[in-house]
Amino acid sequence: MPDLSGPRLERKVAIVTGCASGIGAATVRRLRADGAQVLGTDVNPDGEAVCAEVGASFAVQDVSDTALWPSVVGNAVAAFGRLDILVNNAGVVSQASIEDVTDELWDRTYDINIKGTMAGCRAAIAAMKGNPGGSKGAIINIASTSAIGALPGDVAYCSSKGAVRVLTKSIAVHCAKEGYNIRCNAIVPGATETGILNRAEEAMPGLKAAVASTSPLNRLADPAETAAAIAFLASDECPYMTGAEMLVDGAMMAVHPGF
Ligand SMILES: NC(=O)c1ccc[n+]([C@@H]2O[C@H](COP(=O)([O-])OP(=O)(O)OC[C@H]3O[C@@H](n4cnc5c(N)ncnc54)[C@H](O)[C@@H]3O)[C@@H](O)[C@H]2O)c1
């Protein structure tokens, strides 16, 4: 059985992408509260203030720049001696249907949401294999309920998040079969009160209330609620969970479509 004494992420080292706002910022706060050393990254330098508030480190990073990933991971290992947790959270929406989407919009969405996530996993596994004491790690990729029920108005977003779901399973099976003690799981958020939804509300007033009503709880998720599930998957409390996806959606996807 894992040792569950003390703060559950004590002695663990984590990288959280997209830390400047929303779920990423809440995750930095939660992992720090649970005792982890954290490196937050974001293209937005505002992430520095979020991290400084809770004693986390910060680096500017565009996750889609795949060549940068090994040095981001290397810097965390150099600073803290190991890497235990990677939360691939950075993501963007594109708001274009199949008839409107341009190649540029498609590529940008895929570069951030899926290629960046892949590159993060690849660099993290290389580091986690070399952890002192043997291979060990937990990767959490952020998918979306729109990877399960598609959004007609955002073909690039929902299909890229669909790819994140299967990427997660492929990595989990690979690591298990190779005998690495590295788990890879996905969090599937529903409608969460963050920058993505607030920006969409500006373009489509009333959207937040409409989306909130699709959850039987009839409210949006607080990002801290999503971060709590991320912290669980990052911990040693679920060693048999890998290749799984955890819905944090207020039962949105549990509703029978006929009711
Ligand atoms: N909010 C929701 O309702 C919801 C639902 C399902 C899934 N998600 C997913 O949750 C994740 C977090 O989003 P959020 O809701 O907190 O939105 P958010 O806009 O508040 O946060 C996203 C963060 O990612 C950063 N980012 C964007 N592009 C980047 C890049 N190339 N490199 C590094 N950082 C980058 C942004 O600067 C921002 O800080 C995303 O992957 C999103 O798709 C959100």
Q: What is the CATH number of the domain that holds 90?
A: 3.40.50.720
Measured over all CA atoms, what is the biggest interatomic distance in the chain, rounded to whole angstroms? 54
Residue 91: CB atoms within 10 A of its CB come to: 27
Phi-psi region of 67 (alpha: psi -120 to 50; beta: other; left: phi over 0): alpha
The answer to the question of residue 117 being in a domain is: yes
Q: How far apart, in whole angstroms, are the C-alpha atoms of residue 205 and residue 148? A: 25
40 lines ligand 1 (CB under 6 A): no
Q: Which atom of ligand 1 is nearest to the CA of 142?
A: 41
Q: What's the whole-number mean pLDDT along residues 95-107?
A: 97
153, 95 Cβ separation under 8 angstroms: yes
Domain count, the chain: 1
Phi-psi region of 218 (alpha: psi -120 to 50; beta: other; left: phi over 0): left
HEC readout, 119-188: HHHHHHHHHHHCCCCCCCEEEEEECCHHHCCCCCCCHHHHHHHHHHHHHHHHHHHHHHHHCCCEEEEEEE
The answer to the question of residue 73 being in a domain is: yes
The answer to the question of residue 42 being in a domain is: yes
pLDDT value at position 258?
Answer: 83
180 is catalytic: no
Task: State which residues form the domain around 58.
Answer: 13-194+222-249
157, 144 Cβ separation under 8 angstroms: yes
Q: Quick: pLDDT tens for 164-177.
A: 999 999 999 999 99
pLDDT tier, 200 (very low <50, low <70, confident <90, very high otherwise): confident
50 lines ligand 1 (CB under 6 A): no
The answer to the question of residue 258 being in a domain is: no
pLDDT value at position 4?
Answer: 54
Q: What's the whole-number mean pLDDT along residues 236-242?
A: 98
For residue 5, pLDDT over 80 is answered with: no
Q: For residue 133, how far is its CA from the centre of ligand 1 (angstroms)?
A: 34
For residue 2, pLDDT over 90 is answered with: no
Give the C-alpha distances (Å, rounded to integers) separating 108 from 44, 114, 116, 251: 16, 10, 10, 31
For residue 6, pLDDT over 70 is answered with: no
The answer to the question of residue 2 being in a domain is: no
Q: How far apart, in whole angstroms, are the C-alpha atoms of residue 60 and residue 43? A: 5
For residue 114, pLDDT over 60 is answered with: yes
Q: Quick: pLDDT tens for 130-144.
A: 999 999 999 999 999
Q: What's the whole-number mean pLDDT along residues 6-12?
A: 90
The answer to the question of residue 115 being in a domain is: yes
23 lines ligand 1 (CB under 6 A): yes
Q: How far apart, in whole angstroms, are the C-alpha atoms of residue 257 and residue 187? A: 22
Percent of the chain with pLDDT over 90: 91
Q: How far apart, in whole angstroms, are the C-alpha atoms of residue 251 and residue 8? A: 27
Torsion angle (degrees, nearest 10) of CA 168, 170, 176, 179: -110
For tokens 């899926």, the residue is 114
Q: Quick: pLDDT tens for 25-83.
A: 999 999 999 999 999 999 999 999 999 999 999 999 999 999 999 999 999 999 999 99
Q: Quick: pLDDT tens for 69-95.
A: 999 999 999 999 999 999 999 999 999
The answer to the question of residue 214 being in a domain is: no
Q: For residue 9, how far is its CA from the centre of ligand 1 (angstroms)?
A: 23
The whole-model pTM stands at 0.97
All residues at 6 or more sequence positions from 67 whose CB lies less than 8 Å from its CB, including other chains? none
